[in-house]
Structure 1
Amino acid sequence: MQHRLLRWLPAAVAPVVVAGVVAVPLVAAATPPELPTRSAQQVLELVAKAKDVEGFSGTIKQTSDLGLGSIPTVGAGTDSSTASALELITGDHTAKVSVAGATKERVAVLDPSAERDVIRNGRTVWVWNSKTNSATKVTATGTARPDADPTTTSPAELASRLLAEVRPSTAVTVDTAQSIAGRDAYTLVLRPRTAATTVGSVRIAVDAKTGLPLDVQVIARGASSPAFETGFTDISYAVPAASTFAFTPPADAKVTEKTITAPDRATRDHRALPAKPVVSGSGWATVVTLPAADVPSDLASNPTVRRLTEPVAGGRVLKTALVNVLLTDDGRVLAGAVPVAALESAAG
């Protein structure tokens, strides 16, 4: 089940999404639950059945240990949108999540000073920010599909992305069962077979009854605690009421309305398409290169980006515990869960 929720990543580090967002470590029960023995393949098959879950609601908590430090949100020349996006992947956050079927989602990111909501109800998406008292309504027409953007990666979606790496390049085992959000869960452990990645292991807690991933930990190579974790602190499988996905902005809110329409075939065939990213390497050691045409020309000079990066031959590099990003002097962006040297080699 892949539900697109809050995507808390700036365009500059979009490839980081392969590692997902994170949640505060959830405490497992002192005594592991007793579950029927299942092989790794059987647990993977259980995850595949999670698509049958009709709906759920719960609380997701997140934190990160990327080694980036605090992110400035104000200051001369600071791009507030970039700072805000980076702050979301480096701070601690709580989100209330509700899902009903494939077309109804609601995520409320609860921070001390503001609430940010994304509500998708069929072909309409509302994005609400209490701090700015502003709302954006996006309506899809024709065959266009609304996207609840900005969206986040839930445990289910992150697990799906990581499980896509389950191939000969990955060793998959089942560890001690655990209790997450009051649910008994199997523990899948993924370990890359290559040393060419910064990822040491991935731990996925899988609901023993529904197959829904409840918690995902991504541990950097050589580390003992997660650099990323996303997980539920509470969850209910009751399908949320229809009223959950209704939204009316305050009377004094600034409202912007947008309509998206799928282009007809003739338009699609003749419109200018963005350059495709270049992918090199494979599996956990994949490097994605965004061409300069798809990167904001002033990205490298952005004050927040410059504060978080350091100069290297031919550009600047953003180093984190799991994903590294190289901004080249010719405008390209390379990213991957690989050492910086691998990015420099891919850049040529």
Structure 2
Amino acid sequence: MVVGSALTIAAVPLVLRVLPVGGEHDDAAALLQRIVAARGAAYSGYAESTGALALPVGDEFNDVSTLLGGRTELRVWWRDDDEWRVDTLDPGGERSLRVSPSGSWSWDFEDNRATRAADAPAGTVRLPRADDGLPPALAARLLGGATGAQASMLAARRVAGRAADGLRIRPQDPQSSIDRVDVWADRESGIPVSVEVYGRGESRAAMSTTFLDFAPGRPPEAAISFTPPPSARVRISSRFDLVDAIARFSPAQPPDVLRGYPRQDPLAGTRGVGLYGSGVTQLAVAGLPGRRARSLDQQLQLAAGSHAVPAGTAVDVGPLALLLTRPDRSGIQWLLTGTMTPLGLSEAADELLHGQGAPS
């Protein structure tokens, strides 16, 4: 009896996943609008993110490399876009990022280290972090600018034991390296609970993220608040990462328009980084000073799939492409990365090197 009861209990999650899902939506445009309207909605859960993008980067980008090229387990409490907590779980331990209107706490349990940082303005240029791998965050980034003409319905499925309606977005931009983005949204709340991103000509998702446990609704404030233990090592951070430092202090000035895409409005005081495009097709460029560029060039040349192009050195990692140009007339080398075809990225590099982009 005990064995039979245990088997029955163990089978419950599997049964929930395979139960048929009825009452599907049949209007892709309406489902897209519902997903967009749910942006910032409250929820909590446990998610798994898997990336197949093996980035050729050094130790300073290890967290980014793991997020995009490995398996990451995430526990989340999301009250709204200004107040949330995401814990990253891996064999090495647990790290927590807690954000509130007054700033953020980063807590590394294994190192017994807590880091306090001031609140950063919306739109701050930064490296990807754990919360970017959550289904709602990834869907919000990739579906920005999507239209009903790009959308079609997918079969509904159960995600975390809940009915979820499926939507496929196919970009119409010929410069995009993304073939499609598949999103399943929780039927009750409209919040994205599973996202799969496919490059052109690829049958395996370049990145996928899905909830294994999910509950819509506002989690308690106590789940977000944090006070460092008395024994913790506490430090105050300026919140600068490498990308932020380049954005603020690089002498380079990205153009207002590149490959026909207008530059997204930069924050005051940011110069060296330009962001272009929206939704599925995005391009980021950064002007690197000589020492930093030489170090990165050495890494790229040793990377699998590295090859020389007229503008410099390129690496294609699934739908994500990277290109480091040779020095321009002022000695700046431009790093370009984004979800553009190799040809589109090379042409963008040529515009930067020859000053053909619309000037700032």
Displacement, 1:341?
A: 2.6
Aligned position for 1:173: 152
Give the conservation status (yes or no) of the 8 Å contact 2:29–2:147: no
Q: Are the equivalent residues in 2 in contact too, given 1:134–1:254 (CA < 8 A)?
A: yes
CA distance in 2, matches of 1:294, 1:102: 38
Report the Cα offset of residue 258 of structure 1: 4.3
Amino acid at match of 1:156: P
Following the alignment from structure 1 to structure 2, what is the Cα–Cα distance between the partners of residues 294 and 94?
Answer: 37
**Alignment of 1:341 onto 2:343:** yes
Partner of residue 245, structure 2: none
| Partner AA of 1:310 in structure 2 | S
Q: Which residue number in structure 2 is paired with residue 46 of structure 1?
A: 34
- Secondary structure (helix, strand or coil) at the match of 1:42 reads helix
SS in structure 2 at match of 1:152: helix
Q: Per the alignment, do residues 253 and 37 of structure 1 end up closer, same or farther by CA in structure 2, a change over 3 Å counting?
A: closer
- 1:188 and 2:167 are equivalent in the alignment: yes
1:237 deviates by 2.3
- Aligned partner of 1:234 in structure 2 is 213
Q: TM-score, normalized by length of structure 2? A: 0.72
Q: Distance in 2 between matches of 1:290 and 1:340?
A: 17
Confirm or deny: 8 A CA contact 2:131 2:137 kept in the other structure.
Answer: no
Cα displacement (A) at 1:56: 1.6
Give the stretch that moved more between structures: 145-154 or 203-212.
145-154
State the structure with bigger RCO (CA 8 A, min sep 6), 1 or 2: 1
Residue 250 in structure 1 maps to residue 229 in structure 2: yes
Distance 1:181 1:48 in 2: 21
Q: State the alpha-carbon separation in 2 of the partners of residues 254 and 193 from structure 1.
A: 50
1:63 CA drift (Å): 1.1
Show CA shifts across 1:258-312 (max 9, x none).
478xxxxxxxxxx854145274x88755544323369944542464884356241
| Contact 2:107-2:115 within 8 A present in 1 as well | yes
- Equivalent residue for 2:306? 310
Q: Which residue of 1 aligns with 2:288?
A: 292
Q: Please provide the CA RMSD for this pair.
A: 3.4
Quote the Cα distance in structure 2 between the aligned partners of 1:230 and 1:155. 6
In structure 2, the CA distance between the partners of 1:225 and 1:311, relative to structure 1 (3 Å rule), is: closer
Q: What's the CA shift string for 1:18-60, capped at 9, x where partnerless?
A: xxxxxxxx9994354011543112112221331473x221011
| Aligned match of 2:203 | 224
Superposed displacement of residue 209, structure 1:
1.6
Please tell me the residue identity of whatever aligns with 2:59.
S
**Counterpart of 1:277 in structure 2: which amino acid?**
G
Within 1, Cα distance between the matches of 2:92 and 2:144? 37
What is the aligned counterpart of 2:321 among 307, 324, 329?
A: 324
Q: 1:294 to 1:158 in 2, by over 3 A?
A: farther
| Displacement of 1:215 | 0.7
Q: Describe the SS at the equivalent of 2:136.
A: helix
Shift of 1:319: 1.5
What is the alpha-carbon distance in structure 2 between the residues aligned to residue 46 and residue 207 of structure 1? 10
For structure 2, the 5+ residue unaligned runs are: 1-13, 240-267, 328-332, 351-360
CA shift, 1:173, in A, is 0.7
Does the C-alpha gap of structure 1 residues 165 and 48 become closer, same or farther in structure 2, counting only changes over 3 Å? closer
How big is the shift at 1:250? 3.4
1:156 aligns with 2:169: no
| CA distance in 2 between partners of 1:202 and 1:126 (Å) | 32
Residue aligning to 1:9: none
d(CA) in 1 for partners of 2:320 and 2:177? 7
Mark the CA change 1:334 to 1:252 in structure 2 (over 3 Å): closer, same or farther: same
**What percentage of residue pairs aligned between the two structures are identical?**
24
Structure 1 CA distance, aligned partners of 2:77 and 2:290? Answer: 33
Q: 1:244 to 1:229 in 2, by over 3 A?
A: same
Partner of 2:6: none
